[in-house]
Amino acid sequence: MPRKNQGTRPHVVILGAGFGGIKAAKLLADKDVDVTIVDKHNYHLFQPLLYQVSTSILSEDEISYPIRAFFQKNENIDFFMAEATGFDPANKIVKTSHGDISYDYLIIATGATTNYFGMKSVEEHSYPMKTLRESTLLRNHLIRTFERASRVENDKDLKKALMTIMIVGGGPTGVEEAGAISELVYKCMKKDYHNLNMNDVDIKLIEATDKLLPMMPEALRNNTVDVLRGKKVDVRLNTQVRDYDGEYITLKCGEKEEKIRTRTVIWAAGVKAQPVVATLGAEVDRAGRVIVEKTTQVKGFPDIYAIGDSAHFEQDGRPLPTIAPAAYEAAETTVKNIMHAIKGEEQETFVYKDLGSMATIGAGDAVMFKGVMKSKGLFAWIAWMAVHVLRLAGPLTNCTVIFKWVMNYFFGVRMARIVRD
Amino acid sequence: MPRKNQGTRPHVVILGAGFGGIKAAKLLADKDVDVTIVDKHNYHLFQPLLYQVSTSILSEDEISYPIRAFFQKNENIDFFMAEATGFDPANKIVKTSHGDISYDYLIIATGATTNYFGMKSVEEHSYPMKTLRESTLLRNHLIRTFERASRVENDKDLKKALMTIMIVGGGPTGVEEAGAISELVYKCMKKDYHNLNMNDVDIKLIEATDKLLPMMPEALRNNTVDVLRGKKVDVRLNTQVRDYDGEYITLKCGEKEEKIRTRTVIWAAGVKAQPVVATLGAEVDRAGRVIVEKTTQVKGFPDIYAIGDSAHFEQDGRPLPTIAPAAYEAAETTVKNIMHAIKGEEQETFVYKDLGSMATIGAGDAVMFKGVMKSKGLFAWIAWMAVHVLRLAGPLTNCTVIFKWVMNYFFGVRMARIVRD
């Protein structure tokens, strides 16, 4: 027997407690429906700050917020800790690792996972950073390689390989990670390791196209490259990763191939939808995202909606960007449309409003762009801090996060340099 | 070739970066010696607050401090991340998971691990809490069992077993854990789980003797029992654990045996020295601690010292208590004696000065005892906070810890209710 809601009210099931899923649940909290949020984790993850966990700036629990904590006062919102594994749309059932759940309306908001574009060797040996676990494994790895380097006595090549760090992908994640690693190494680890020569460190940011932060105007893109180079990050544009066997990475720039020995390749070069989305049987795009109508309904499945990184929603001939605001905004229209459907009203059309984009390049430095407005440097960084702190769940976490950012900015302090097991 | 120090100065190797090891290294930092600290973790763990990580009050990195961060300004202190695996005292070599290290003087400060007193079934199924990993596994487990209970629809017995929590051991760790779990459940989880009846929760504290906190005077012991019972903790004295198969725990009280179904048994009933200590070949006591002279030298090994939970040091006919101050104080004498040995001077005798003992029973409540001075309630709790915050490494961590304690006290906030994978 599939699990049902207890009452007679319509049952909305939300798959995924990311930005889109939590937003939808919050909007449904005062409506006359029962809601079940399904997620394999018991927390909402603030993914934009994963890079700060991987570089020892923030604690894990500062960017992960218990899902139930959002809804302590909302009796109609239930949480079901399980992984969505499939669909039975004919019977209005979603399958999970802990049994079936029946729904009246379903919101697919399962988010994205890392896309290696079919490169198995890279998938096997590189460090992704889409989940909390991945970011702490990367933190462990960064510290462990320096500990290993400090134990190496005679093998200079190995020592160099241990201190060579490659970040692949010139989007916001790659840029932010590269800046944060540079500061971790040159401001903090430099003082930690008396017997290592930090001139042996080599941090490279690899980007296949000719641009970092492609959504930004040219002046800000160039500024980003300059700032990163000032932080001793070797920015390599027009350079593709061909292979990585755990010891050597193969890069291709034009006709030239290059092999570099490194123990650390961080993969921030692409995302795709969670594989479960494709099992619905609806049409998906190349990144596995389900094609949705202008109403956010999945094409051919009017009682199933998809938002955020699970959905391919076209506007102006392009899919929406894979960022939190796109998920938030789609959640708003989706909730309205579910309430319309319950009342037998007509569905609304979703129109995405671009809120601009921003990226930090390091403590005290960021770029920001919206429409014709652009900004960089300390002002943009303060704006970036404000936006992210306001979006973070929970006023208490905000305090400790601001405190740690200020400490990191003024003193280069990174409190979380912990190899956890 | 064993690893050596580079210079010609005497080389002091310290095994373990706990309270004793870090204290010894700090005292040696301005001396004319080279020091290598060996630890398998890259952090110093503040063990007295592990119970707060397991109950979602503090973050992991608030009680773990990078070892290298202590010694950024001390060129003569080196850290070697490895596990000590054995000794070759004839050649003055200590063996580690990453190769041999030669020493002139050795300090064994490897601390304690959990003692199950030979009960294999308990070891296999219960949750210890001596390491950071163990305390986060316990945190995960406590949350997961409540998530499971909330998914159970018909099986009342299973639901009850999932909500039954046994803490074994009436020392400070058991008392503090029991109080903190009670508050986690009744102040915080109660609001989280709309579909669970918290009257089904059963928290028991099991103690084999007739006393909680045996080091305290009778009035404070009785007060502790009263406070815990007020927090709905079922305190069972004179009760022994005989077996736990992961589903049923067998308790024995007098002649009466009782089986209780529970998914959570937390083992805080005993400690013993790390097993590597016994491989030295010196005389050890029943808890595996090496017998040391009045000078903290290991009997029969004059260039090897042992302190803290690695050492059996007798004073007034009893071994020292297994608490941080005992390790601190022994470290002081040990460092003096190593410097005496280098200079060819006579060894000093270690005299332990009892600084008293204290334990929290919950937010806002503690007991405290020294000599004839005793205190309880809010005042003792504030004193407990002050002592622990002052002992915590790092002024920055202190701020976030105080902040979280205050938030927990006033609002029952537990920010770290995260099941990490």
Mean predicted confidence (pLDDT) in B379-388: 90
Q: Which residue has the tokens 């937003």?
A: A23
Full strand arrangement of the beta sheet holding A164-168: A233-236, A202-206, A164-168, A264-267
The predicted pLDDT at position A397 comes to 77
| Residues of A classed as catalytic | 176
Of B60, B80, B413, the CB nearest to A420: B60
pTM: 0.95
Lowest mean pLDDT among A131-140, B57-66, B222-231, B336-345: B57-66
Minimum Cα–Cα distance from B100: chain A residue: A151
Cβ contacts below 8 Å, chain A against chain B, sum to: 123
| ipTM of the complex in this document | 0.93
Query: Are A195 and B78 an interchain contact pair (Cβ–Cβ within 8 Å)?
Result: yes
Report how far residue A335's alpha carbon sits from residue A346's, in angstroms, rounded to the nearest whole number. Answer: 13
Report chain A residues whose CB lies below 8 A from the CB of B69: 192, 417
Interface test with A, best of B400, B409, B410 (most A CBs within 10 A): B400
Report chain A residues whose CB lies below 8 A from the CB of B193: 68
Of B3, B59, B132, the CB nearest to A59: B59
State yes or no: pLDDT of A227 exceeds 80.
Answer: yes
* Catalytic residue chosen out of the listed positions B62, B134, B176, B293: B176
For residue A116, give the 3-state DSSP assignment: coil
Which token pair is A249?
């990475």
Residue A111 backbone phi and psi in degrees, to 5? 75, -165
Long-range contacts of A158-164 (CB under 8 A, 24+ apart): A159/A200, A160/A200, A160/A202, A160/A261, A161/A247, A161/A261, A161/A262, A161/A263, A162/A263, A163/A196, A163/A200, A163/A201, A163/A202, A164/A201, A164/A202, A164/A203, A164/A204, A164/A260, A164/A261, A164/A262, A164/A263, A164/A264
The nearest CA of chain A is from the CA of B381 a distance in Å of 22
Report chain B residues whose CB lies below 8 A from the CB of A46: none
Q: Which residue has the tokens 């040091």?
A: B313
The predicted pLDDT at position B1 comes to 62
State yes or no: pLDDT of B116 exceeds 70.
Answer: yes
Contacts of A56 (CB under 8 A, 6+ apart): A139, A143, A184, A188, A414, A415, A416, A417, A418
Look at strands A202-206 and A164-168 and give their pairing.
Answer: parallel
Report chain B residues whose CB lies below 8 A from the CB of A416: 61
Query: How confident is residue B389, by pLDDT bands cut at 50, 70 and 90?
Result: confident
Query: Are A81 and B147 an interchain contact pair (Cβ–Cβ within 8 Å)?
Result: yes
Which token pair is B418?
């995260």
8 Å CB contact between A176 and A51: yes
pLDDT digits (tens, 9 = 90+) for A185-201: 999 999 999 999 999 99
Q: Is there a catalytic annotation at residue B176? A: yes
Give the end-to-end CA distance of chain B in Å, rounded to a whole number.
40
The predicted pLDDT at position A1 comes to 62
pLDDT digits (tens, 9 = 90+) for B311-369: 999 999 999 999 999 999 999 999 999 999 999 999 999 999 988 889 999 988 999 99
Query: Are B418 and A193 an interchain contact pair (Cβ–Cβ within 8 Å)?
Result: no
State yes or no: pLDDT of A56 exceeds 90.
Answer: yes
For residue A298, give the 3-state DSSP assignment: strand
Closest CA to B70 of B393, B401, B399, B391: B393
The predicted pLDDT at position B397 comes to 77
Minimum Cα–Cα distance from A73: chain B residue: B191
Q: Which residue type is seen at B92?
A: K
Report chain A residues whose CB lies below 8 A from the CB of B152: none
Long-range contacts of A349-358 (CB under 8 A, 24+ apart): A349/A294, A349/A295, A350/A294, A350/A295, A350/A296, A350/A313, A351/A315, A352/A313, A352/A315, A352/A320, A352/A326, A353/A329, A355/A325, A357/A172, A357/A213, A357/A215, A357/A216, A357/A321, A357/A323, A358/A172, A358/A383, A358/A384, A358/A387
Give the helix/strand (H/E) hosting A347.
none
Of B60, B394, B421, the CB nearest to A418: B60
Query: How confident is residue A232, by pLDDT bands cut at 50, 70 and 90?
Result: very high
Q: Which residue type is seen at B245?
A: D
Share of residues in chain B with pLDDT > 90 (%): 86
Interface test with B, best of A158, A198, A417, A421 (most B CBs within 10 A): A417
Report how far residue A147's alpha carbon sits from residue A53's, in angstroms, rounded to the nearest whole number. Answer: 19
For residue B282, give the 3-state DSSP assignment: coil
Report how far residue A299's alpha carbon sits from residue A306's, in angstroms, rounded to the nearest whole number. Answer: 10
The predicted pLDDT at position B6 comes to 59
Query: Are A415 and B61 an interchain contact pair (Cβ–Cβ within 8 Å)?
Result: yes
pLDDT digits (tens, 9 = 90+) for B187-218: 999 999 999 999 999 999 999 999 999 999 99
Residue A206 backbone phi and psi in degrees, to 5? -105, 125
Report how far residue A57's alpha carbon sits from residue A75's, in angstroms, rounded to the nearest whole number. Answer: 36
The nearest CA of chain B is from the CA of A392 a distance in Å of 13
Closest CA to B203 of B173, B182, B225: B182
State yes or no: pLDDT of A396 exceeds 80.
Answer: no
Minimum Cα–Cα distance from B60: chain A residue: A59
Minimum Cα–Cα distance from B400: chain A residue: A400
Phi-psi region of A284 (alpha: psi -120 to 50; beta: other; left: phi over 0): beta
Domains defined for chain A, CATH in brackets: 11-40+82-114+271-343 (3.50.50.60), 120-269 (3.50.50.100)
Tell me which DSSP letter residue A189 carries: I
- As a residue count, chain A comes to 421
